[in-house]
Amino acid sequence: MKQMTRMLKGRTTRRKFIKQVAGAAMAAAMLPSIASAQQVDAALIEAAKKEGKGSLYAVTDPAIIQAFVAKFKEKYGIELEVTRLISGALGQRLLSEHESGSPVADVVLDTDKLLQEQMHAKGMFASIDIVPGLAPYAHVKTPFSVIVSHIPYSLIYNKDQIKDPPKTWQDLIDPKWKGRVLTIDPRVGGSPALWHVLMRDTYGEGFIKALGQNATLSPSAVPGIQQIAAGAKAIYAPGIHQVVVGLLDKGAPIGEIFPQPTISSDTSMMIMQKAPHPNIARLLAAFTLSVDGQAVLNKDGFSPINGVPGTLPLPQMATPDFRTIKEKIPGLVQLLGAN
């Protein structure tokens, strides 16, 4: 499949991008389509309203989650308190609340599959089958979770600094970019470390060593990409498309491409077993799976389901084994020359 390049310059460019990934669109067309209307039991809505304010823990980009929460309130009149953390910190918070017997979260949106399995083993999550409207998501669910967003990793650059943009992952180690590249620290774990594994398996250990010599490690994608937007660095990898969309809306001079192969940092949704507001939890989860919820959560992004307005077809993605990632991180850190 030809490499997919996307220069993000507004709606017109998005249409060009869709044409470029027609092959991916054909594959995506085989996925289930979301129903045009989703029925939520009136009794559930009423019971949820009686519970007051719900609680959502999420790793999702702040601008997206704010719009998502506002849409939920507009639809149901129910407010949500949002706790936004990076995945590792979110897991620590949930584990601490679980062990103290004082759970706060009703619904969780997270990207670290290994962490999710560890929390599931502790009995922290309810069966995902209690969520209304789950049927179209059968291909992306586990007994306790369901993928609600695909986030294929990209390569991001500052268009004011770079007129001839990079086109492949290999461009990250070009000597001309030495000192101008930011890359995610694999010690963050989860999908960021899986990207490093994919790069090593695809291009060899020499690539990772050269990347360590060219790049500065970033502890988190959001501030890292913001540095690219501000011109502090020229290139960031692997990038998160949803963060790019939010910065573009603010006029940031950012370009984005999707080199092949790539992986997806999937956002999964879980309901807490001891959710303080169980009816809000079910209603919020159902809203997340609905057309309205998906259209906000994955605006100009990638939904697991076809038929969601304003979403894009998925690029072709690799699927490294996330269960073995923890044992591989020290080797990656050593290759990168990190302390």
- Tally of residues, the chain: 339
Instruction: Please identify which residue in the block is written with the tokens 């669910």.
Output: 141
Q: Pick out the chain residues at pLDDT < 70.
A: 1-39
Diameter over CA atoms, the chain: 62
C-alpha 213: how far from its chain's center? 27
pLDDT for res 38: 54
What's the predicted TM-score (pTM) here?
Answer: 0.76
**DSSP string for 80-122:** EEEEE--HHHHHHHHHHHHHHT----SEEEE--HHHHHHHHHT
Element (H, E) at 147: strand 146-149
113 closest CA partner among 141, 72, 77, 154: 141
Cβ atoms of 214 and 273 within 8 Å: the answer is no
| Per-residue pLDDT reduced to its tens digit, 222-243 | 899 999 999 999 999 999 888 8
**DSSP string for 228-261:** HHHTS-SEEEEE-HHHHHHHHHTT--EEEEE-SS
Cβ atoms of 189 and 324 within 8 Å: the answer is no
pLDDT for res 9: 34
pLDDT for res 26: 39
pLDDT for res 265: 85
Q: How far, in Å, CA of 19 to CA of 37, rounded? A: 28
| Per-residue pLDDT reduced to its tens digit, 84-143 | 988 788 989 999 999 999 999 999 999 888 889 999 999 999 999 999 999 999 999 999
Average pLDDT, the chain: 87
The dihedral sign for the CA sequence 260, 87, 139, 54:
negative
The two tokens of residue 55 are 């609680």
Q: How far, in Å, CA of 253 to CA of 263, rounded? A: 25
The two tokens of residue 16 are 């060009």
Instruction: Please identify which residue in the block is written with the tokens 């937007």.
Output: 229
Cβ atoms of 337 and 209 within 8 Å: the answer is yes
pLDDT for res 2: 35
pLDDT for res 316: 80
**Beta-sheet pairing, 4-6 with 254-258:** antiparallel
Domains of the chain (ranges; CATH) run: 4-25+153-261+319-336 (3.40.190.10), 42-150+265-297 (3.40.190.10)
SS3 of 14, please? helix
